[in-house]
Amino acid sequence: MQLDDLYRRVIMDHYKNPRNRGKFEEGALTIDLNNPTCGDRISLQLQVEDHVVKNARFTGEGCSISMSSASMMTEAVKGRTVEEALELADRFSSLMKGEPVEFDDYEDIEALSGVNKFPARIKCATLAWNALKKGMEQES
């Protein structure tokens, strides 16, 4: 199987079976962001306790890139400290610049590496991560 095909499968799996989709009943930090160029919208919720992201959920709608990225991000960020979450978001920015970064801790994210070749889609992929950064900045 070609790497591109594998990556496409990973992206479509997260799009069709999103992880952590939904809302918390209470006690969560909520960040709403949208990407007008594509029409993607996300409402990210983070439960942060003692400087650690205990849990994350999201709702929203948009293209497969934006929604799969949100699914991956919410999965990868659980259990991280605020600093670790910001480091993860920085690493994702590097990935979008085409830099050779690895996500040994959550390999699915690497499926989005091809997006850097399509500048118009980078905003789709980074939407959830920008929401994460905004939330973490409020906590730090």
Q: Which residues bind Zn ion (CB under 5 A)?
A: 38, 40, 62-63, 66, 124
Reading the block at residue 51, the tokens are 């400087």
Judged by CB, which is closer to Zn ion: 59, or 81? 59
Q: How far is the CB of 125 from Zn ion (least distance, A)?
A: 8
Q: Are 34 and 94 in contact (CB under 8 A)?
A: no
Strand partners, 88: none
Integer Cα distance of 40 and 124 in angstroms: 7
Contact between residue 44 and residue 58 where contact means Cβ atoms under 8 Å apart? yes
14: which 2 tokens?
């997260």
Nearest CB to Zn ion, comparing residues 38 and 101: 38
Q: Which is nearer to Zn ion, 63 or 86 (CB)?
A: 63
Tell me how far, at minimum, the Cβ of 44 lies from Zn ion, in Å: 16
Three-state secondary structure call for residue 106: coil
> Between residues 28 and 132, which has the closer beta carbon with respect to Zn ion?
132
- What amino acid occupies position 6? L
Min dist. Cβ of residue 127 to Zn ion (A): 7
Give me the least distance between CB of 102 and Zn ion, in Å please: 25
Among the listed residues 28, 37, 58, 36, the one whose alpha carbon sits nearest the alpha carbon of residue 129: 58
